[in-house]
Copies of this chain bind each other. A is one copy, B any other.
Amino acid sequence: MAKQVTIKDIAIMSGVSAGTVDRILHNRGNVSEASRAAVEKVLMKTGYRYNIHTSAISLKKAYKIVIAIPTAIPGEYWGMIQKGIEHALEEYSDIKLDCEFSYYNQFDIYSCRSSFASIADRNPNAVIIGATFASETTVLCNKLDENGIPYVFVDAVICDTHPSATYSSDQDACGRIVGRLLNLFTPKDTELAVFGSRRIGNERANNSMKRMSGLKGYFEELAPYRVIKESKISVLDPEESRKNILGFLERNPLVKGIAVLNSRGYILADILAAQGIRDVKIITFDMTRNNVRCIENGSISAIICQRPKLQGFFAVKALIRVLLYNIEEKNMHHLMPADIIIKENLPIYQEIYNE
């Protein structure tokens, strides 16, 4: 184990004092070009990085982080993201971070608008954004960019913004995963179906659309002979959904595999189960309580899950890097793995996901 180089070592090696090194490390100015050059040379040579924790204890200022995400319900997708954030706060509890959550209703653009409008007033040092509505997010990001406030995205990216990092899944790949699984799970001579959501104007459906194109891409390239029907689930009217879905299956008796490209697979699964239909394989997204229940009772065959907790955790870690180390890996897009969850590996994933 190589002995850790300290700020004092750097100072001695470059013929200045520790204070000067510190000023340079944190771009705090008031340093002559000569000193800067000398110190930076040594820093480069040694690959020195100061100890983030020691730094934290002597640091008086607390950083304020605002988290702007859709309402986080425990056990649901955003609840898990929040849990990951809280987990990171605990892990790095020695670093003084003040967190404020600012939730909005992901189905209500006005609530998003007013939530985002208040962010700047809170004077954050950094922001975590769970983006749903593109234009609102762009407005917010522009303001943050102007003020030099770093931000990271979780769950989704919005174009023309400059996040310090993004943690999300490759939705196209997710669609392809569902494609392959459906193709494997069902005999070649049966038909398949894809269910999207009917929420119009909600641009988060963006994720759902990317999954759709991935799924279609998979079949076009690798199994073009398979027939894929399309339909939708209405979240608003349960009775209407029921009729629509059962009607759809009556009209398409050959459909033996269904992909639900959002987290509402359980709705379909419950309807089929109630009807005694057991030979249709369902695949859906997100390890929500309802989907878990359906995996357990066998009415859903697989769920694809994109580690919301890890996204939240990493988002905080990225901001710590930016705030303390001043490391800006602008626009770095970190992809989360897409976990395939079936009945047999569910318990362990639950432990990991819910901790």
Chain A residues close to B by CB (< 8 Å): 1, 4, 51, 53-54, 56-57, 62, 93-94, 96-99, 169-170, 173, 176-177, 179-181, 184-185, 187, 218, 281, 301, 335-340, 342-345, 347-349, 351-352
* 8 Å CB contact of A184 from B4, B185, B347: B185
Would B352 and A345 count as touching, CB distance under 8 A? Answer: no
| Chain A binding surface SS class | mixed
In the complex the two chains form, what is the Cα distance from A54 to B51 in whole Å? 11
| Chain B residues positioned under 8 Å from A170 (CB to CB) | 348
Please, which residue of chain B has its CB at the minimum distance from the CB of A352? B337
Would A344 and B93 count as touching, CB distance under 8 A? Answer: no
Please give the distance in Å from A288's CB to the nearest CB on chain B. 18
Please, which residue of chain B has its CB at the minimum distance from the CB of A337? B348
Would B57 and A343 count as touching, CB distance under 8 A? Answer: no
| Chain B residues positioned under 8 Å from A340 (CB to CB) | 339-340, 342, 345
Known: A170-B348, A177-B342. 11 other contacts (CB 8 A): A1-B96, A51-B94, A53-B53, A53-B57, A54-B54, A173-B348, A176-B344, A177-B344, A184-B184, A337-B348, A340-B342
Please name the 10 residue pairs, one residue from A and one from B, whose CB atoms are nearest each other, closest first. Answer: A53-B53, A340-B340, A176-B344, A177-B344, A337-B348, A338-B345, A184-B185, A335-B348, A51-B94, A337-B349
Please give the distance in Å from A159's CB to the nearest CB on chain B. 22
In the complex the two chains form, what is the Cα distance from A218 to B345 in whole Å? 13
| Chain B residues positioned under 8 Å from A97 (CB to CB) | 1
Please, which residue of chain B has its CB at the minimum distance from the CB of A185? B184
* 8 Å CB contact of A1 from B56, B62, B180, B348: B62
| Chain B residues positioned under 8 Å from A187 (CB to CB) | 187
Please, which residue of chain B has its CB at the minimum distance from the CB of A351? B335
| Chain B residues positioned under 8 Å from A54 (CB to CB) | 53-54, 57, 94
| Chain B residues positioned under 8 Å from A337 (CB to CB) | 339, 345, 348-349, 352
In the complex the two chains form, what is the Cα distance from A93 to B93 in whole Å? 17
Please, which residue of chain B has its CB at the minimum distance from the CB of A353? B337
Would B343 and A338 count as touching, CB distance under 8 A? Answer: no
| Chain B residues positioned under 8 Å from A351 (CB to CB) | 335
* 8 Å CB contact of A348 from B336, B347, B352: B336
Q: Given A57-B51, A349-B337, does the pair A4, B344 have CB atoms closer than 8 Å?
A: no
Q: Given A99-B1, A184-B301, A351-B335, does the pair A173, B345 have CB atoms closer than 8 Å?
A: yes
| Chain B residues positioned under 8 Å from A179 (CB to CB) | 344
Please, which residue of chain B has its CB at the minimum distance from the CB of A51? B94
In the complex the two chains form, what is the Cα distance from A98 to B93 in whole Å? 26
Please give the distance in Å from A19's CB to the nearest CB on chain B. 19
Please, which residue of chain B has its CB at the minimum distance from the CB of A338? B345
Would B98 and A1 count as touching, CB distance under 8 A? Answer: yes
Please, which residue of chain B has its CB at the minimum distance from the CB of A304? B345
Please give the distance in Å from A351's CB to the nearest CB on chain B. 7
| Chain B residues positioned under 8 Å from A218 (CB to CB) | 344
| Chain B residues positioned under 8 Å from A336 (CB to CB) | 348
In the complex the two chains form, what is the Cα distance from A339 to B337 in whole Å? 10
> Which of A93, A99, A177, A344 has the largest count of B CB atoms less than 10 A from its CB?
A344
16 sampled A-B residue pairs with Cβ under 8 A:
A1-B96, A1-B97, A1-B99, A170-B348, A173-B348, A177-B342, A177-B344, A179-B344, A180-B344, A181-B342, A187-B187, A335-B351, A337-B345, A337-B352, A339-B339, A339-B345
In the complex the two chains form, what is the Cα distance from A187 to B185 in whole Å? 9
